[in-house]
Amino acid sequence: MKKQVLLAAMASALLVSYPLGAKANETVRSLDRENIGIAENVKVDAPVSVKDFIQYALDELTYQHGSKEMRDELAKRWTSNEDWARDQHITKGELAKILIRALQMEDQEKSISDYLQSAIINGLLKVYSQANETVTAEEMEDIIENAKAFASKDIDNKGVKEISVEDFMKNAGESEFDLSPDGEYISYMSDWENRMNVFVKKMHEDSEPIRVTSSTDRDIALSFWKDDHILYFKDNGGDENYHIYSSNLNGQEERDLTPYPDVRVQLVSNLQGIENEILIEMNKEDPTVYDVYRLNIKTGELHHVAKNPGNIGGWLADHDGKIRIAVETDGVNSTVLYRETEEDEFKPFVQTEQSDVISPIAFSKDNQSIYALSNKGRDKLELVVFDLDANEKVLYSNPQVDVMGVIYHQAKDKLLATGYVTDKQHLIFFDKEFESLFNKLQDKLQVTESELWIMDFNEDMTKFIVNVSSDKEFGIDYYYDSTTDELTKLSELAPWIDRDLLADMHPISYTSRDGLTIHGYLTLPKNKKPENLPLIVNPHGGPWARDFWSFNPEVQLLANRGYAVLQMNFRSSTGYGKAFTDAGNKEWGLKIQDDITDGVQWAIDQGIADPDRIGIYGTSFGGYATLAGIAFTPDLYAAAVDNVGVANLFTLLETIPPYWETMRQDLYKKMGHPEDDKELLEAVSPVFHADKMKTPLFIAQGANDPRVNRAESDQMVEALQKRGVEVKYMLKENEGHGFHNEENRIEFYNAMIEFLDKHLK
């Protein structure tokens, strides 16, 4: 049984950062720091409070700057959620506990005497320290210096052995395991003829797996079970016009169930409990909108279920397979529509206003309630349930960030868990049995909450697919049978990569020039001091997306080559509430770019980045930010890599895919209107500012990209070549929005590393 998967991210990483100021004779002047909360004239022998010590330790031992909420969360973890913001004087025993936990030297709760002994043994405190002694300001500064020395004691600044681009970028092995509905079979993706194909294996037997797909031109994008068949999606050369195919379990009969040219197919419902049929949506009748069809996977027979009048952006079926919910939109405002039966007309259910989001997730089993994510009337997305009169009940909310998803058991009609992402992902459980199972697996695998994923389970929740991943673990999959309590390893992604050579991804935060807190991640090369490093700034795509704490092959490749990598969730990123997202409206190249620039300056100010060796690399919107960076801050970057990036906002808006038409007004709201905001779009389109660019540039583009048309890169290359600016151009005729074929990935990243090394080392 498939669940709706929560988005990725994970638990707190702490690291020593930058040198402390020198001590004064009578006062500790280095403590005069913004947000530390200790007065400049603190005497060296004055006792320090618990609150003051934690504030100072946070500033010196982490990269969480300018974020009260995240700092509070870290502080609570250090003190096991005790009342840490106390003004009482801190004792050596309390201080030892905080430091040991902050430095991640212990993951089990210890007694105060054990913490004290560990701190003394590791040189954090003096041998004669007593647990009940208070700590002075002078001692605090010395202790923090000791902690920083401890954290960097194993660094000889020689880096680590290089891992080849091929090892990072070739197909990583068996992944995306799925249980058959009866739990007797398992499907997964694996490499065949340099393409990811689907294989099936019978559980509890030593039989050989059977390959059930035979794609040689393109990876299979997605597969899932329907009864005793495997269904899968595949496009043509990256055009994103996905067709849905079926295969039986012996792989002898593959069939394109939607053989319509220039048509894109998406799944609406797997119709659990209804044999041989699924609900899909296609833009078959009108390329700009999706109608709903009932598809027989055995015969290919197609029935038109719901006609799109031209303004429906999404559909939801009930547990009987009937389309009962539609989301009507003009691109800015939307209305959730409801009907009692498929014979009835849709009527307004819940109305939203600008920036409101209501995303229906599922009907309850009795079809009398609707689970959804909603931020209507508030800033953050919350998990809610509506009755059929549109009365809303909030099931979970988080004051810091949006709720990111839900795990729902359809057959049992159980809401199992929800989650949110601060620095990493955290879970909130609704079902005690599921929580107990999760905790048992966490204990068995000795991983943190944020490293464990329950990916799939059968209908009676006795068989599970479990995944472990982190910033340094690509992914290990297990099969767990709760009836026998047996945990079986299925696969490890990229086992040829030595995990000991990989780098830590550290959650960071800093304050933008206009006072927003910007969160992100800093990956530092292993066995290199975080001082004066070449830095790659890596803005994410979207821009209405966000980066997460997770395994990222390209970030690990760059870190392995000695680069620090900075990723930031600039304004317009999702996950931090609608006010933060809306703060990026019509700010492409302006305040969004300032957030990126401010992150670079933050890294320079911390002493991490060498200001003469800053590079920028991004994909999609990140590619736009790359071009904007070298156009609007031409002295900041020494090298730039743009992967399928936007050069001209006018041509981007002219060439959006037809099925984005219902979003056009939203794009105008967020980016600017080509007529009403002509001056703005011209001011922030990098192609019109090629005369300012002087940074060496590498551009990569897929010829079949339906989102960022090939002309975006062509016109940028032409404008720069006319001026004699160095520009390297890699165009792939069999790719779309990014390079997905193994050989193209390897070629691109080899070229990128060579280019960056040439200009930054």
The count of residues in the chain is: 761
Query: What is the C-alpha to C-alpha distance for residues 708 and 480, in angstroms, rounded to an integer?
Result: 42
Arithmetic mean of pLDDT, 103-126: 82
Domains of the chain, first to last = 29-151 (no CATH), 501-760 (3.40.50.1820)
Arithmetic mean of pLDDT, 469-481: 97
Q: How many Cβ atoms sit within 10 Å of the Cβ of residue 217?
A: 11
Please give the pLDDT value at position 125.
Answer: 86
Number of DSSP helices (H) and strands (E) in the chain, helices first: 16, 36
Please give the pLDDT value at position 71.
Answer: 72
Pick from 167, 281, 272: which is nearest to 225 by CA? 272
Please give the pLDDT value at position 81.
Answer: 64
Please give the pLDDT value at position 28.
Answer: 33
Q: How many Cβ atoms sit within 10 Å of the Cβ of residue 664?
A: 16
Arithmetic mean of pLDDT, 664-688: 97
- Confidence at 85, pLDDT banded by 50, 70, 90: low
737 is catalytic: yes
Flag whether pLDDT at 24 surpasses 50.
no
Q: How far is CA 381 from CA 384, 429, 571, 578, 758, in A?
A: 9, 17, 17, 8, 45
Give residue-wise pLDDT tens across range 346-396: 999 999 988 899 999 999 999 999 999 999 999 999 999 999 999 999 999
The answer to whether the CB of 370 falls within 8 A of the CB of 685 is: no
Q: How many Cβ atoms sit within 10 Å of the Cβ of residue 433?
A: 12
- Extract the tokens encoding 113: 């005497």
Please give the pLDDT value at position 114.
Answer: 85
The answer to whether the CB of 169 falls within 8 A of the CB of 482 is: no
- Confidence at 84, pLDDT banded by 50, 70, 90: low
Helix 68-78 and helix 92-102, axial crossing angle in degrees, nearest 10: 110
- Confidence at 42, pLDDT banded by 50, 70, 90: low
Please give the pLDDT value at position 285.
Answer: 96
Query: What is the C-alpha to C-alpha distance for residues 417 and 632, in angstroms, rounded to an integer?
Result: 45
The answer to whether the CB of 627 falls within 8 A of the CB of 686 is: yes
Q: How far is CA 306 from CA 326, 405, 627, in A?
A: 10, 27, 43
Arithmetic mean of pLDDT, 715-725: 92
E-assigned strand segments in 547-685: 564-569, 609-619, 639-643
Arithmetic mean of pLDDT, 538-559: 97
Please give the pLDDT value at position 634.
Answer: 96
Question: Which is higher by pLDDT, 338 or 84?
Answer: 338
Q: What percent of the chain has pLDDT above 70?
A: 93
Query: What is the C-alpha to C-alpha distance for residues 443 and 445, in angstroms, rounded to an integer?
Result: 6
Please give the pLDDT value at position 82.
Answer: 66
Pick from 743, 644, 754: which is nearest to 169 by CA? 743
Arithmetic mean of pLDDT, 652-668: 96
Arithmetic mean of pLDDT, 4-26: 28
Please give the pLDDT value at position 744.
Answer: 97
Question: Which is higher by pLDDT, 531 or 40?
Answer: 531
Give residue-wise pLDDT tens across range 171-191: 999 999 999 988 889 999 999
- Confidence at 39, pLDDT banded by 50, 70, 90: very low
Give residue-wise pLDDT tens across range 276-331: 999 999 999 999 999 999 999 999 999 999 999 999 999 999 999 999 999 999 98
Active-site entry in 65, 426, 737, 740:
737
705 is catalytic: yes
Least confident of 3-12, 110-119, 639-648: 3-12
Query: What is the C-alpha to C-alpha distance for residues 71 and 49, in angstroms, rounded to an integer?
Result: 17
Please give the pLDDT value at position 497.
Answer: 98
Please give the pLDDT value at position 5.
Answer: 35
Query: What is the C-alpha to C-alpha distance for residues 350 and 632, in angstroms, rounded to an integer?
Result: 43
Mean of per-residue pLDDT scores for the chain: 90
- Confidence at 701, pLDDT banded by 50, 70, 90: very high
**Amino acid, single-letter form, for residue 740:** H
SS3 735: coil
Flag whether pLDDT at 41 surpasses 60.
no
SS3 507: strand
Question: Which is higher by pLDDT, 294 or 5?
Answer: 294
Please give the pLDDT value at position 626.
Answer: 98
Give residue-wise pLDDT tens across range 576-619: 999 999 999 999 999 999 999 999 999 999 999 999 999 999 99
Give residue-wise pLDDT tens across range 259-270: 999 999 999 999
Flag whether pLDDT at 7 surpasses 50.
no
Most confident of 59-73, 83-97, 496-510: 496-510
Phi, psi of 364 (to 5 degrees): -70, 165
- Extract the tokens encoding 704: 């079949």
Please give the pLDDT value at position 186.
Answer: 95
**652: which residues sit within 8 A by CB, 6+ positions away?**
646, 708, 709, 712
Active-site entry in 180, 620, 685, 713:
620
Please give the pLDDT value at position 725.
Answer: 84
Active-site entry in 471, 594, 666, 705:
705
The pTM for the full model equals: 0.90
Please give the pLDDT value at position 151.
Answer: 82
